[in-house]
Amino acid sequence: MKRWFTLLAVLLVALSVVIGWANHLDNPLLNDVRADLVVVEKSKRELTVYSQGKPLKTYKVALGREPVGPKRREGDKKTPEGRYTIDYRKANSGYFRALHISYPSQADAEIAHKEGASPGGDIMIHGLRNGIGWIGKLHRLTDWTLGCVAVTDREMEELWRTVPDGTFVELKP
């Protein structure tokens, strides 16, 4: 019986260490820093925020479940490619905060309509699904969104205060 309690205690300590690591915010930005550009490099699974042409910080991200290629229609589980803006923010969504990306552009909409489809439009940079934020960095083990760009909740807090509405967003292959 004592052996089981010892094993349980070791497992709980290990779990707390993993969860602590998964939710640690590396190199936090100063509170007054503001970005003027967000670049997502899909092939690298990275999001970098810039100010006046200088990179401020790079975050690892998860993308849509079908990350290769540009988004063509609603439901294709692809993350778009192109130049957009952050056009509004959602404090209360199914995920921990969200910065809405102005997808679809007119060109995106025309491509989808030529294929007889809707382009979709709920593309965001967001934190983790509400209630599971504790998994932190572990969410990046797979691409799991329906076309959005996902970061940890701690990272989303930082992006929320650093990236104002109107910021340009470049989503690259």
* CATH fit for domain 2-172, picks 3.10.20.440, 2.40.440.10, 1.20.58.340, 1.10.10.60: 2.40.440.10
Q: Which residues of 151-167 are buried (b: 16+ CB within 10 A; e: fewer)?
A: bbbbbbbbbbebbeeeb
Mean pLDDT of the chain: 91
Q: What's the pLDDT score for residue 27?
A: 82
**pLDDT > 90: percent of the chain:** 80
pTM of the full structure: 0.88
Tell me, what's the pLDDT at 116?
93
Average pLDDT over residues 92-98: 94
Instruction: Give the residue-averaged pLDDT of 84-113.
Output: 96
Is the pLDDT assigned to residue 113 strictly greater than 90? Answer: yes
